[in-house]
Amino acid sequence: MKWKNILELLSFFFNDSLHGFLDRPFFKKRSNRVFLTIILFSMYYYYFWLNIQQLSAISNVANLISKSTYVIAAKETLSSYYNMCIITGVFIYILVNGTFQLTNNSLHIAKTLPFSEKEIWLSQKIFKLICGALVFEIVLIILVPSIKLITRNVFYWILLLIDFHVIFINIFLLLDLVYDFVLINPWLNTKLLATFIDTLLVLLTSIYLFTIRFKIDYLIGHIDLYINTLIKLSSFILLCMFLILLSATLVFKPQEIIVKKTKFWNLPLIKFKNNIEISFPAIVRASSYTYMLIFTLIIFMFSLASNSVESTLQNMTFIFPLIGIVGISYSDATLNFRRFFNLYDIKARSELCSLLFTGTLILLPTILLSIFELKNIDVFIFGFSIYLSSIILGFLLPKSYGSVNETMSSLLIAIIIVLLSVALVKIQLLVIVIGFLLIILIFVLKKEREKNYELL
């Protein structure tokens, strides 16, 4: 095995992936790419600045409490951040593992060239790890300002950043080994088993998120160690774990894992006698909708078993709106027959109405929660803005056009959700955002019609 060959394969995979990503009409123009980058950076800077302002207020309050109480709070905060990195690492791995898939062309060319099976296998793992790390960096940017609540020493501040990255890499390597060894037998290598593992991981991580981590935070907060000693000890343990997992990844090489990815489920649905059936089956039958529904139900049932009904409903105000991200699969679901829309006289206006009605149906839990619990429609508006954003991103980055398009669109929708959550403080701002999103969606639908008309 030669690392030079692995670097060449990584370069090839990135070139192929970016070609699919930048091949979209919007991204072909350099001015559009620069404009989008500036907008995202500006919005993120604004969010970063808001965090700094809030942390300054918290720091002022911290100066008023006793030193012993502050030390306990700092150690609990440290433990909480480590736990959040673990939880985030698991969810990011599930996301990347479920959305990432090299194109058949990439794998065929890689296997035709004089590279060993182990080099190709390891290159795929590294490539997938880098894609996951990009998503993790977005989360990390949010955490960076609040590290000063733990320590203000620059050395330990940097050491904590390294620890956060090592935790993510360890989780990624561990779960990748688990998937490899569980799915190594061809007769077990099914989409159903992979989905079961994903669901099990979500369930166990949710249990850890809502119950176990609080007990661990409390124990770490009252442990008889200085905060700096605790950071150094954690760094040593994490480094040892990294070396063990890396050695296991390099030494053991299971057979190549190829899980057939089911894009759609054959579900019986009500047949609407109008244009509603344009988008409703395309979204509801997508596997992403099933996974999101299972995830939401698991969180809801576990929260209901652990907390009161009132607390559960409060928790669901942050979970139910996330159902809107399933709109990201709409473009890919209609890709093969979209060119026939004009022939069947399906107008862009009818398709837009169909999408709006479908969004209202799948976000029905948020409507019920908004009306009967919160006595307003703020949560529904938040979820609907996520839904419209995901549909637009699905058109800009359809999964079928590149191996990392779905991962990139998931990354962007995560950023957008964070930014939209900031706008929740003024619901009027979210209404304005929905207005802009509707204008953009109409424009995208018309452009897609023109493009498909040219193909005919």
Q: Burial, 408: exposed, middle or buried (Cβ in 10 Å; 0-12, 13-18, 19+)?
A: buried
Across 228-239, average pLDDT? 93
**What does the alpha-carbon distance between residue 171 and residue 91 come to, in Å, rounded to a whole number?**
10
Q: When comparing pLDDT for 440 and 102, which is higher?
A: 440
Find which of 69-73, 111-115, 238-242, 344-348 is predicted with most confidence, using mean pLDDT.
238-242
Task: Give the count of beta carbons closer than 10 Å to the beta carbon of residue 179.
Answer: 20
Helix (H, G, I), strand (E, B) or coil at 377: coil
Q: When comparing pLDDT for 130 and 99, which is higher?
A: 130
Residue 265 lies in a domain: no
Task: Give the count of beta carbons closer than 10 Å to the beta carbon of residue 176.
Answer: 19
Choose the final residue of a domain: 251, 286, 307: 251
Q: What are phi and psi of 331, to 5 degrees?
A: -60, -45
Flag whether pLDDT at 79 surpasses 80.
Answer: yes
Residue 146 lies in a domain: yes
The predicted structure's pLDDT at residue 243:
95
Flag whether pLDDT at 291 surpasses 50.
Answer: yes
Flag whether pLDDT at 455 surpasses 50.
Answer: no
Residue 168 lies in a domain: yes
Residue 258 lies in a domain: no
If asked whether residues 216 and 307 sit together in one domain, one would say no
Residue 52 lies in a domain: yes
Task: Give the count of beta carbons closer than 10 Å to the beta carbon of residue 170.
Answer: 20
DSSP assignment of 35-99 equals: HHHHHHHHHHHHHHHHHHHHHHHHHHHHTTS-HHHHHHHHHHHHHHHHHHHHHHHHHHHHHHHHH
If asked whether residues 322 and 441 sit together in one domain, one would say yes
pLDDT band at 73 (very low <50, low <70, confident <90, very high): confident
Q: Answer whether 398's CB lies under 8 Å from 331's CB.
A: yes
Partners of 264 in beta bridges: 286
- Give the CA count within 13 Å in the CB-facing half-sphere of 74: 24
Among the residue ranges 267-271, 349-353, 372-376, the one predicted with the least confidence is 267-271
Q: What are phi and psi of 172, to 5 degrees?
A: -65, -45
If asked whether residues 22 and 168 sit together in one domain, one would say yes
If asked whether residues 143 and 238 sit together in one domain, one would say yes
If asked whether residues 331 and 396 sit together in one domain, one would say yes
pLDDT band at 272 (very low <50, low <70, confident <90, very high): very low
If asked whether residues 170 and 215 sit together in one domain, one would say yes
Give the residue numbers spanning the domain of 362: 275-455
Find which of 41-50, 136-145, 251-260 is predicted with most confidence, using mean pLDDT.
136-145
If asked whether residues 187 and 295 sit together in one domain, one would say no
Q: pTM to 2 decimals?
A: 0.71
Find which of 29-38, 254-263, 278-287 is predicted with most confidence, using mean pLDDT.
278-287
**What does the alpha-carbon distance between residue 94 and residue 79 come to, in Å, rounded to a whole number?**
23
Across 79-104, average pLDDT? 82
**Residues 6 or more apart whose Cβ sits within 8 Å of residue 439:** none
If asked whether residues 124 and 16 sit together in one domain, one would say yes
**What does the alpha-carbon distance between residue 356 and residue 226 come to, in Å, rounded to a whole number?**
55
Flag whether pLDDT at 453 surpasses 70.
Answer: no
If asked whether residues 30 and 154 sit together in one domain, one would say yes
The predicted structure's pLDDT at residue 107:
66
If asked whether residues 228 and 282 sit together in one domain, one would say no
Residue 259 lies in a domain: no
If asked whether residues 373 and 338 sit together in one domain, one would say yes
Give how far the C-alpha of residue 354 lies from the chain's centroid of Cα atoms, to the nearest Å. Answer: 26
**What does the alpha-carbon distance between residue 246 and residue 424 come to, in Å, rounded to a whole number?**
43
Flag whether pLDDT at 17 surpasses 70.
Answer: no
Number of domains into which the chain is organized: 2
Residue 406 lies in a domain: yes
Choose the final residue of a domain: 188, 216, 251: 251
Among the residue ranges 25-34, 207-216, 254-263, the one predicted with the least confidence is 254-263
Q: When comparing pLDDT for 448 and 428, which is higher?
A: 428
Write out pLDDT tens, residues 363-415: 998 888 888 777 788 889 999 999 999 998 888 877 666 656 666 777 778 77
Among the residue ranges 128-132, 156-160, 307-311, 358-362, the one predicted with the least confidence is 307-311
Partners of 286 in beta bridges: 264
Residue 309 lies in a domain: yes
Choose the final residue of a domain: 251, 266, 301: 251
Any idea what DSSP says for residue 120? H
If asked whether residues 283 and 209 sit together in one domain, one would say no
